[in-house]
Structure 1
Amino acid sequence: MPRKKQSKSKKIKRVRPSSVFSPEKIENLFRKGRSRGFITLNEILHSFPNLEKDIKGLEKLYQDLENKGIEVKERKGFLEMEEKDERIKKILPDLRIDSIRMYLKEIGQTAMVSAREEKELAKRIEKGDEEAKKKLIKANLRLVVSIAKRYVGRSWNLTLLDLVQEGNLGLFRAVEKFDWRKGYKFSTYATWWIRQAVTRAIADQARTIRIPVHMIETISKYEKAKRRLLQSLGRDPLPEEIAAEMGIEVEKVHHIIQIKQRAVSLETPVGDDDKNSVLAEFIEDEKTPSPLTMAARNLLKKRLEEISTELTPREKKILAMRFGLEDG
């Protein structure tokens, strides 16, 4: 009898639930959108603060919103860029402000494109039109600056222009990935790619020891909670108070405090004198014996040598080899 062919069991591909987009928050967002016909960009950001880690999940969210007839609106003035930004003046030295003004003036000469023009440019980009790609990038450079400004001060060694440069890389990536058929605006889509590029740059370059992107956001929340409590209490808050404010365990707060500490170079200059003193000169070497210990050892060694003269050469050699009297 011919053997029956065993039917191969089909492997069922299990889709892992997204760690960024929880079903409960998505449903709350849909409920809010259905009640008034739209949701704002800030509401998405508030619901999913780390959404740039899951761009594909974000695209699906936008597709679901479009299918349900819910519009995503950007807040007014989101793309506006003023040359005289007071926040920049407070944070950056005067020498850097001039270069920032020059850059803002340069990118401000390019007009922003409409939704219809975005669609046409995206179609041309699909066909390999490099000029269309350049035009779409130039039209959204101000968007990069407006996003990069929010991250100024989170890294001691990354200036605004550094963050803008990293954000521009995210913009280039957004231009390559943008699908005009999905229906949403390019600026809305590019925002997440720009945020992702900037936050990753801070995580990768801001510290000697790299901190994961999600911990960068957690540290930022910790700093905000600490400032709020400092203003309300009039003193430095305790870890227990910060934990209650953030809604996390005290052990987690201690973990954040430990992680946020910066590595300090031993070559860091110390003092204002001209002697060029460095930090390493002021740190005690615990492995090196103290002068008192060294003096005691030398006296003991001398006393042992005096006693060993009374021993035979063989006994002296045995003791020296047994206790390491010659070479330690």
Structure 2
Amino acid sequence: MLENQGSVSVEEAIKSADKALNNLTETVSKTVAVAVKKKETKLSKVSRRELDAIQLYLKEIEYSPLLTPEEEVKFGRLARKGDDNGRKKMIVCNLRLVVKISRRYMNRGLALPDLIEEGNLGLIHAVEKFDPERGFRFSTYATWWIRQNIERALMNQTRTIRLPIHINKELNAYLRKSRELMQIQGGEPSVTEVAEALGKPVDKIRQLLKFNERTGSLDITIGKDSDSPLVNFVSEPSAPEPDELIRDKDINDSVENWLHQLDLKQQEVIVRRFGLHGHDNATLEQVGKELGLTRERVRQIQMEALKRLRRIMENEGLSGESFLGL
């Protein structure tokens, strides 16, 4: 990427992006503080200045090249030994990943600069925890930490209902176990895998995770020129919309097509693990007993199948995150 940037050196790019990382939040905060001090309450002024700060930040980090797998191992080892340059390289060269993920969480209660700031903290934590000897790509590992940090900030910022202490404890236990599995597998574990590790029913865990979802008001109006509250537009749950029926059929057809591109053993594992084709969600042990395989072998086949499905979906221009949590 740097070859197209003329005289811009790697060192200059890192220095420039690192400076942008340190100054983004400070720039936005000062802008808002000045507006409040001068009683400039017009949102357009603050929004425009925030946008300018974000544009400057994006311009700074675009010169940071993505690391190759070999470079991730090299600088990951240095960072693990406490080398500041290795740590900085791992952070700066993945700032664009933070921005990409942060954009998915816009309009949920936090401004984009705040989302980026939280995501950057997650990235830094990922660098500190990353073990390059496990053979996983850093971007896959870091994505979980970035999302986790952003989602926690959104939860703290937007939660309107105080949860009971025992619910908070169970949520924290889920997150801790999820992080442990992430370290082992190198990818975000499914709800089924975490439930299995915790020794709890999948349905109970799914119910628990609903407490972690953001709440909203049905009394808010739809559009600035409308007086109608959202509740007036909520349809009966028993009457699906036509476009939903079409979409669901398209998804089912696509899933069948993707599964047929796997070998038979991979198909058998996936349909049982994720409750497809009329199967119930099964644990690794249950699938192993049905297919005459060990738990570890089932896990290996599942990982191979999910990687293959991800490649198939990406080739069709889709995100792997939209199917089975890929």
Which TM-score applies when normalising by structure 1?
Answer: 0.38
Which TM-score applies when normalising by structure 2?
Answer: 0.39
User: In proportion to residue count, which structure has more helix?
Assistant: 2
The structure having more radius of gyration, on CA atoms, is: 1
